[in-house]
Amino acid sequence: MKVSRGEFLRLGLAGGTMLALPFGASGCSGEGSTGTLLPSKAKLPEPFKVPLPVPPVLEPVRTDAGTDYYEMTQKAGRVEILPGIQTEVWCYDGIFPGPTVESRSGRKIMVRQHNELPVPVSTHLHGGRTPPESDGYPTDLIPPKNMAHDHSMEGHGSMGMGGFRHSKDYVYPLEQRAATLWYHDHRMDFTGPQVWRGLAGFHIIRDEEEDALPLPKGEKDVPLMICDRSFDEDGSFLYPSLDPSLQGKPGVEEDYMDGVLGDTILVNGAPWPVLEVSATKYRFRILNASNARRYELALEPANHAPFIQVGSDGGLLGAPILHRKIRVAQAERFDVVIDFSQYYVGTEVTLKNRMGQGRTASVMRFRVARKEKDDSAVPGRLSDMAEFHRLAESGGGSPREFRFTRVTDSGRTMWGINGEPFDQERMAARPELGSTEVWHLLAAPAAHPIHLHLVQFKVLSRNGRKPLPTDAGWKDTVDLTSGEEARVLVRFDGYRGRYVFHCHNLEHEDMMMANFEVV
Ligand SMILES: [Cu+2]
pLDDT of the chain along its 519 residues, tens only?
Answer: 333 333 332 332 223 222 223 333 333 445 678 999 999 999 999 999 999 999 999 999 999 999 999 999 999 999 999 999 999 999 999 999 999 999 999 999 999 999 999 999 999 999 999 999 999 999 999 999 876 544 444 444 444 434 468 999 999 999 999 999 999 999 999 999 999 999 999 999 999 999 999 999 999 999 999 999 999 999 999 999 999 999 999 999 999 999 999 999 999 999 999 999 999 999 999 999 999 999 999 999 987 779 999 999 999 999 999 999 999 999 999 999 999 999 999 999 999 999 999 999 999 999 999 999 999 999 999 999 999 999 887 776 788 999 999 998 888 889 999 999 999 999 999 999 999 999 999 999 899 999 999 999 999 999 999 999 999 999 999 999 999 999 999 999 999 999 999 999 999 999 999 999 999
Q: Buried b vs exposed e over 152-181: b needs ≥16 C-beta within 10 Å? A: ebbbebbeeeeebbbbbebebbbebbbbbb
Contact yes or no for 141/159 (Cβ under 8 A): no
How many Å lie between the centroid of ligand 1 and the Cα of residue 248?
23
Distance 292 CA to ligand 1 centre (A): 9
Ligand 1 centroid, distance to 508 Cα (angstroms): 5
**pLDDT at residue number 31:** 63
Q: If you measure from the C-alpha of residue 432 to the centroid of ligand 1, how many angstroms do you get, rounded to a whole number?
A: 27
Cα 449 to ligand 1 centroid, rounded to whole Å: 6
Indicate the pTM of the whole model.
0.91
- pLDDT score recorded for residue 44: 97
Sort 408 into a burial class: Cβ within 10 Å, 0-12 / 13-18 / 19+. exposed
- Number of helices and strands (H, E) in the chain? 4, 35
The whole-number pLDDT of residue 7 equals 35
Q: How many angstroms does the Cα of residue 480 sit away from the middle of ligand 1?
A: 9
Ligand 1 midpoint to CA 293 (Å): 11
CA of 493 to the centre of ligand 1 (A): 26
507 CA to centre of ligand 1 in angstroms = 8
- Kindly give the distance from the C-alpha atom of residue 503 to the centroid of ligand 1, in angstroms, as a whole number: 5
User: 406 CA to middle of ligand 1, Å?
Assistant: 9
